[in-house]
Chains A and B, each alone.
Chain A
Amino acid sequence: MPDIAPLALLVAGLEAPDRYDQADAARLLGELGRGEAVGALRRYVTESRYYSKMAGFHALARIGDAAVCPTLRGLVDKPNVVDDWFWLDCRAVRAAAALALLALGDESRAGYLAELADAGDDVFFCFFGPTVLRLPDNLPAARDLKARITVGAMADPAARGVRHTDPARVALKAEVFGLLATPEACEALRDLVAFHSRYVRGQAAVSLLSADPSEEHVRLVEAMGDGDPADFARVRASYALAAAGRGDRIALIVEAAEALDDPFDRAVAVECLGLLEDETHAGVVERQASHADPYVRQCAVEALDRLGAASAAAVARKRLGDDSLRVRLQAAKLLAALDGKEGR
């Protein structure tokens, strides 16, 4: 175990050689919500030239220190990343900064988000659609932006076709529909339950039952949980059912977490067990913390954190010596949260 405090390990992660390790450190610092990290996160979003730094904006929003607003305003205007005008990542960075400002109560750059909405941009409607809808309603600009996201706007046939064909965008669209939770949104989700991508089907099942766990919808998702050809979709459907109160469906997730060969699918099952916050299955999750695949291990440590399992701290301390920095960071977040709770 390295001789470094968990919070310091996370902060140091912002300067890791790999840009996605940096972003994960930022994400975890945001989840931790500790004000001591604000300075390092401010430096990260200012100095990093990687698009993945948008995780840092979200982290700053979660921590909630409005003193960073001047920095964020500057980065909406000049994000210090390459302008990939032919793609979307630069716009996503600017949007992330503008959304962080809104979350911190600063409406001054909401106009940029409105511009994206006016342009029918997938950055606004798909990649940040769920984030926009989760904004608090206390600011007029936030309310206006949220009102822009409707089933009709999402289905806009004039929007770029890829909003309706790219599984990455469609999965986020399904998340948006779940948050809208209107009858029209549920109708759209019922269609997406049959989408060709298992990842979209899985998200559609979760969104549908979170929006309206009616008998009809439960039957639809049950059919996916029982008969979908893809493990991923069956796991996510089972999770959706379990989250809607069907405890009998957890068994499939437990089995998947212990037995699936595909590491990603197994990791998703482990993640679902954490999200269900049922400590009964902490032993299953704990065993996955020593799986050969680092993403499975990372999800296991994260799930133990969510479960508040008695064994979590011991597992996390062991994982501070993991080969994978991502796993070490996840473990550090768990331990840093415990440190915070214990007032140290």
Chain B
Amino acid sequence: MTASAAQGNLTIGVARRDIAPPRPELLKPTGMERLEPTRGVLDPLACEAMAIDLAGERAFLITSDLRTIDHAWVVEARETVGRRLGCDPRRVLFSSVHNHCSSPVGADDSPEAAEALAEANRKIVDAFIAACAEADATRRPAEIAFAQARLAEPVGENRRLRLSNGTCVNSWHGGGGICPPGLKVAGSPGPHSTEVRVLCVREPGAPRPFAALVSYPSHPHLWSIPCFSGEFPGAARREIEGRLPGLAVLHANATGGDIDIHCMHPGPPGGTDAEIRWFQESNRLVARRFADAVAPAIEACADYRRPASLRHAYWSSGEDDPANNRVTIVNVVVLGDVAVASIPGELFLALGRQAEARSPLPHLVMMGYNGSYGGYQPLPLAFEQGSYEVMRGYARSETDLLEARPGRRVRRALKDSGLQVIDRLVAMLADLAAGRAG
């Protein structure tokens, strides 16, 4: 098929599925400790899928209001989607927003909690698959454009604070950051998260897009309320969709390992009801700030194109034995001059900026927290600076585990593992840009 013929064949569909746990009172969200029983689901949690087909070349992008995605879910969902929908399983790109009011665990050790957890997790995997199927079934002719927005007001800030002796402390939890007497604050050791990247999709010639993949680096954890919630990404998605009727927003985190939402203002005064009110008000505030920048950028987007090709590259390590290995997945789809990359989570923002600067393709949209696991991924210097993300030091070997708390052993980053991920991604992009892959 000629390039011009292929250009007419891009079809894209999107779909959303609910992933809120069916029995929340038996579960609790993860990522920040909760001291009281879960009250319920405060606002919707969802996953979305975007199905892409260009002249028979297919791919699926999945976004989700989860903290992390189990690697086993990745395997099951991609195999099922591949089998049912006729797609190479490796062309299913996963991501989660790293939502800390999500990804349940049992509230206690009871069989009922274990059953509720299994049910909740089953619902998540089924939702991934169902969203892909619906997105595939609703594909329509499409063209794409890349947009970029700069936030005018703070949303995600660098959550590390550099002191005059060179070390760093945390600057989080709504008012954080202490500077011991005798030292002074030197500033932030890395950039704040001010840029949003968007892949817009519309029907050819339509006045408005029908879908937008929004990529923004930050931890969403405003507060550890005893509720499940879509958190900031859910609120931002609802706000943008409210302003642009007919648009489906897929929200992805990118390289937000050192970025946080909840350093934006002092936390709530105390008491669960007050905390929940504060959480909802703060969610509305940051969603408004976010939408103020992103919605106009989507609306103003005019440079729509129908790409001539869909190219793909996949790289992973550790997937043969995920229980015993550090798992790293880098999965890239290129549509024309726009690359969408599914990458591990917890990379520091400076590394994301490196990837964007080094990418041979002009537009890179990253989707983090993709079922890989390797702990925080800072620049090597951060291990010398200290603070929460690196305070236990780097892993001494691939198999070096960290006892995060009694009985819980987790993987952590090697000193240069973040750089390695970015090097790998840039090399894959170079191959794709040069036609050596995909």
| Chain A contact residues, CB within 8 Å of chain B | 19-20, 23-24, 27, 49-52, 54-55, 58, 81-84, 86-89, 92-93, 96, 127-128, 130-131, 161-162, 165-172, 175, 196-200, 202-203, 232, 264, 267-268, 271, 294-295
Contacts and interface: CB of A to CB of B under 8 A. Distances in A.
Question: Interface residues of B: mostly helix, strand, loop or mixed?
Answer: loop
22 contacts: A20-B185, A50-B177, A51-B175, A51-B176, A51-B177, A54-B178, A82-B267, A87-B170, A89-B177, A127-B178, A130-B180, A130-B181, A130-B182, A165-B392, A168-B168, A168-B169, A171-B166, A199-B165, A199-B166, A199-B385, A199-B386, A202-B166
Interface in B163-197: 163-170, 173-182, 184-187
Contact of A167 (B161, B167, B179): B167
B119 interface: no
Nearest to B394: A196
A52 B179 contact: yes
Interface of B: 32-33, 161-170, 173-182, 184-187, 266-270, 383-387, 390-393
Given A49-B266, A161-B392, A196-B383, A89 B167 contact: no
Contacts of A20: 161, 177, 179, 185, 187
B175 A24 contact: no
A58 B268 contact: no
B179 to A, nearest CB: 6
A168 B173 contact: no
Contacts of B180: 127-128, 130-131, 172
A23 B392 contact: no
5 cross-chain pairs, A with B, having the tightest CB-CB distances, nearest first: A167-B386, A199-B166, A166-B391, A168-B386, A49-B266
A168 B178 contact: no
A267 B186 contact: yes
B384 A199 contact: yes
A54 B384 contact: no
Contacts of A27: 179, 184
Contacts of B267: 49, 82
B122 to A, nearest CB: 31
B179 A165 contact: no
Given A52-B179, A86-B33, A92-B178, A171 B186 contact: no
Which of A86, A89, A203 has most B Cβ within 10 Å?
A: A89
A294 B188 CA distance: 12
Contact of B167 (A83, A130, A199): A199
B166 A198 contact: yes
Given A167-B384, A264-B186, 13 more contacts: A19-B177, A27-B179, A51-B177, A54-B178, A81-B266, A82-B175, A86-B32, A89-B177, A131-B182, A169-B386, A172-B180, A175-B182, A199-B166
A89 B385 contact: no
Question: Interface residues of A: mostly helix, strand, loop or mixed?
Answer: helix
A257 to B, nearest CB: 15
A166 B387 contact: yes
A1 to B, nearest CB: 24
Nearest to B35: A85
Contact of B266 (A50, A58, A167, A200): A50
Nearest to B178: A92
Contact of B176 (A24, A89, A170, A268): A89
Contact of B270 (A23, A82, A196, A264): A82
A88 to B, nearest CB: 8
B167 A131 contact: no
Contact of A166 (B32, B165, B386): B386
A232 B266 contact: no
A82 B167 contact: no
A98 to B, nearest CB: 13
A187 B392 CA distance: 23
Nearest to A61: B181
A54 B179 contact: yes
A120 to B, nearest CB: 16
Nearest to A128: B180
Nearest to A199: B166
A6 B165 CA distance: 27
B393 A165 contact: yes
A268 B182 contact: no
Contacts of B391: 162, 165-166, 168-169
A216 B188 CA distance: 37
B212 to A, nearest CB: 32
Contacts of B266: 49-50, 81-82
A185 B153 CA distance: 48
Contact of B179 (A55, A162, A170, A268): A55
A20 B175 CA distance: 10
Contacts of A165: 391-393
Contacts of B185: 20, 23-24, 52
